[in-house]
A and B are shown apart, each in its own frame.
Chain A
Amino acid sequence: MTKTVVEKETKAKSAADVPWNVVVHNDPVNLMSYVTMVFQKVFGYSRVRAERHMMEVHRKGRSIVWSGGRERAEFYVQQLHGHLLLATVEKSQ
């Protein structure tokens, strides 16, 4: 009996823990230097890491810039929209 309850709780917790991704999409208007600055400002990334994500957006069309809880992901997307970047939140695969 106890074992069944523990298993159910574990399954529920796992579903809630599924991380969410913050994805930035390419836009031909935004300057690369501007996008880099926004990543540093919003996420506190180093210049090197911010430039890596910026180049991924530029070359591949998108980059997963952050993963974690849903609420935080939505907050970050709002921040990125405030800086006029194209960003979406999606459930991690």
Chain B
Amino acid sequence: MLRIIPYSADPDENKAAEGRLFSKPESEEGHLSADWKIYVEPELRHLFQTAVKIVETDLKKLRKRKSENDPPEYRLKIPAIHMEAWLNATNQARLVLAAQHEFSDEELGGGIPVSITTAKELGLFQINFYGFLQECFLRILEQE
């Protein structure tokens, strides 16, 4: 579930997902929107990609713990200075998944699916799981 965060954060040419990550700066189309696309959107794109790269780098350090337990246990250490990148990347993933699967407000508020047998159910599970991670990160950041 952690290893697919970078994959899940990629809009992959889905117009709704792209539109959500790069939303309009004004309610009605005006001069600002055109300038935004040229000057601001590339900076936002770089920011989002940097956050995902930091998460990818941290995930490479995922280590299996020496344990007799079944299933096996893993440990991931996330440096405190990377916490905001994790918040950003998991949020990208949540927004992209929600847009790709076109979840309704009711579905999003319905909690974790009981079973995961479809891509949509997996997507909903990911949204909830990454949301849980975000709450953990926010509590850690609050304590600093």
A43 within 8 A of B: no
Would you call the interface of chain A mostly helix, strand, loop, or mixed? mixed
Inter-chain contact B105/A28, CB cutoff 8 Å:
yes
| Total chain A interface residues with beta-carbon distance under 8 A | 21
Question: From A33, which residue of chain B is reached at the shortest CB distance?
Answer: B138
Binary B-proximity of A2-34 (CB < 8 A = 1, otherwise 0): 000000000000000000000100011111011
Max chain B Cβ within 10 angstroms of own Cβ: one of A29, A30, A89, A90: A29
Inter-chain contact A31/B32, CB cutoff 8 Å:
no
Chain B residue numbers with a CB within 8 Å of A84 are: 21, 88, 91-92, 95
Q: Which one of A30, A34, A37, A81 contacts B25 once the chains associate, using CB atoms below 8 Å?
A: A81
B14 within 8 A of A: no
Binary B-proximity of A53-90 (CB < 8 A = 1, otherwise 0): 00000000000000000000010011001111011111
Q: Which one of A28, A31, A83, A88 contacts B24 once the chains associate, using CB atoms below 8 Å?
A: A88
Q: Which one of A23, A28, A81, A89 contacts B32 once the chains associate, using CB atoms below 8 Å?
A: A89
Chain B residue numbers with a CB within 8 Å of A28 are: 98, 105, 108-109
Q: Contact residue range for chain B?
A: 20 to 34
How many residue pairs between the two chains, A and B, have CB atoms under 8 Å in the bound complex? 61
Q: Which residues of B contact A (CB under 8 A)?
A: 21-27, 32, 40, 43-44, 47, 87-88, 91-92, 94-95, 98, 105, 108-109, 127, 131, 134-135, 138, 141-142
Inter-chain contact A74/B134, CB cutoff 8 Å:
no
Q: Determine how close the nearest CB of chain A comes to the CB of B8; give it in whole angstroms.
A: 13
Q: Which one of B23, B131, B142 contacts A81 once the chains associate, using CB atoms below 8 Å?
A: B23
Inter-chain contact A29/B40, CB cutoff 8 Å:
no
Q: A28-B105, A28-B109, A82-B47 are in contact. Are A77 and B95 (CB under 8 A)?
A: no
Question: From B35, which residue of chain A is reached at the shortest CB distance?
Answer: A74
Q: Determine how close the nearest CB of chain A comes to the CB of B107; give it in whole angstroms.
A: 9
Inter-chain contact A31/B135, CB cutoff 8 Å:
yes
